Structure 1
């Protein structure tokens, strides 16, 4: 569980606001879980599939606010529902050609039913606070959600997105388009938390369709507000970067840079950077 030592060093007077858009629990612990469990952050979880809500409640209890809205551009759309365990329910129709290119995806991407829905712009969702960190995995819908959530994201410190190198859905924006948009909003890539390759049909490696050779499929990439020229960054945003970098990604160098800059500005005590390094060395 995350320690409060850095939280106290940064003199934060509120928990961070985290949003997970596409929060279905498919067996992977999200990077924010320890912070939520420790009271350092509050979770706003989005999942339009009601089949996923019970698992989220079981995992977080009263520490989560669940939003059932389908996040998008605010217009009508079709939701293509796949099996819950596949994680492939999307506002985009699966691409038969691209699914067939990869071993196993014709089955994983099979649509069980279609549902007409009205999407909601992120900026229009009542009860959603301004966000410090966003994790988004909505099977191709990430860019539309971002474009219609700029107000809620105006003070966002870091964003974790699933991006695709080869689209599995018709009309799905791929990594290059998402990356250009994020840079235009003042973010730069910080790290990949996962890079997924997949085997190309019909060749199998060791008889396992999940065992890849070299073909890139998708990745989870983390963007941070540009720390190269941080002069215009709000101190509270810089504090959020430091906390997320440390507890979310163990990016000690990024957290340390924010703390050193805050100390140089007089926002934190002059010895804050040295105290931070002491916490790191003590294993905090």
Structure 2
């Protein structure tokens, strides 16, 4: 199936990608790679230790999806802190001094019980070999996973990870720690997708405990293979990177930059085809938004 506006539709290049999703519980709606999966252009390896969430994933999965019951970490046994708000359960202990700053969090972060669980290293899981993209959201344990997945990360093109700017958990690595490590592995920070703020107590706006204001608390951060060194990537890697950036994040300028390098290596002309189809209504996808500003449709061109 060719999805309108997809990378496949715009370039007629049937590139297939492999995506590992650590913490695949679909509590936040469709994943960013949904278009690639819908078009039959992605293979998914998901990890979800929550039995109910795993059952739901397996019930709805397609032929190109597999889901494993492992908790991913450093290969050791850990204490799992199960919280009143299931989305806050973590291998890290909730930090009450930070949680009490925000409405709702002291309740959601209350530890109901603990369990001892075994973890696996991503480097040791055969099903994870050769992935193009890693998506991960495991409530503060992301850096532990990265530190024990250096072999797999050396093959990867994109990392989509939740990051925090305040330690919601005790001794939790923050955005700066994650960025520094991934940079050491050859990745560059690309963009947030998005960030989330919360109102600091005691202020409240419209009786909405989920409302945000000034304090950014967490977000999803997108890291890409160093775009100043694209010549180190092979043509298949460049196509996979372009497809992921287009379908998942609408990073059209970076997609074009990657395709220019692809054409340089192969002698092909996918970059001008992509640009032409991207800007030709009605086939082109909607223009990206950044900070609430719309880039006028039809104002894209090569310089």
Does TM, normalized by the shorter one, top 0.5? yes
SS of corresponding position for 1:204: coil
CA apart distance, 1:204? 1.3
Range that drifts further, 244-253 or 61-70: 61-70
Instruction: Name stretches of at least 5 consecutive residues in structure 1 with no aligned partner.
Output: none
Q: Does 1:44 align with 2:45?
A: yes
C-alpha distance in 2, partners of 1:254/1:146? Answer: 24
Q: How big is each residue's C-alpha offset from its partner over 1:218-259, in whole Å with a ceiling of 9 and x where there is no partner?
A: 010100111123222232221111111111111111111111
Asked whether the 8 Å contact 1:205–1:213 carries over to 2, the reply is: no
C-alpha distance in 2, partners of 1:121/1:6? Answer: 38
Aligned to 1:278: 276
Asked whether the 8 Å contact 1:23–1:47 carries over to 2, the reply is: yes
CA apart distance, 1:268? 4.9
Aligned to 1:33: 34
Q: Does 1:203 align with 2:203?
A: yes
* RMSD (Å) for aligned C-alpha atoms: 1.7
SS of corresponding position for 2:231: helix
Range that drifts further, 124-133 or 187-196: 124-133
Alignment TM-score, normalising by the size of structure 2:
0.86
C-alpha distance in 2, partners of 1:172/1:136? Answer: 16
CA apart distance, 1:23? 1.0
C-alpha distance in 1, partners of 2:10/2:146? Answer: 30
Compared CA separation, residues 17 and 54, structure 1 to 2 (3 A): same
Asked whether the 8 Å contact 2:133–2:157 carries over to 1, the reply is: yes
CA apart distance, 1:7? 6.5
C-alpha distance in 2, partners of 1:225/1:140? Answer: 23
In the alignment of these two chains, the number of paired residues is: 278
Alignment TM-score, normalising by the size of structure 1:
0.92
Aligned to 1:156: 156
User: Deviation above 6 Å: which 4+ runs of structure 1?
Assistant: none
C-alpha distance in 2, partners of 1:77/1:143? Answer: 15
Range that drifts further, 133-142 or 149-158: 149-158
Map 1:157-176; keep pairs closer than 5 Å.
157-176=157-176
Q: How big is each residue's C-alpha offset from its partner over 1:45-73, in whole Å with a ceiling of 9 and x where there is no partner?
A: 11111121122234434332111111111
SS of corresponding position for 2:173: coil
Asked whether the 8 Å contact 1:155–1:237 carries over to 2, the reply is: no
Aligned to 1:230: 230
Aligned to 1:212: 212
SS of corresponding position for 1:102: coil
C-alpha distance in 2, partners of 1:170/1:268? Answer: 53
Range that drifts further, 61-70 or 158-167: 61-70
CA apart distance, 1:95? 1.0
Aligned to 2:129: 129
Asked whether the 8 Å contact 1:6–1:243 carries over to 2, the reply is: no
Asked whether the 8 Å contact 2:45–2:127 carries over to 1, the reply is: no
Aligned to 1:177: 177
Instruction: Name stretches of at least 5 consecutive residues in structure 2 with no aligned partner.
Output: 286-303
C-alpha distance in 2, partners of 1:111/1:8? Answer: 51
Aligned to 2:57: 56
C-alpha distance in 2, partners of 1:107/1:95? Answer: 12
CA apart distance, 1:6? 4.9
Q: How big is each residue's C-alpha offset from its partner over 1:91-150, in whole Å with a ceiling of 9 and x where there is no partner?
A: 001111111121110111222321101111100113323110111101000001011011
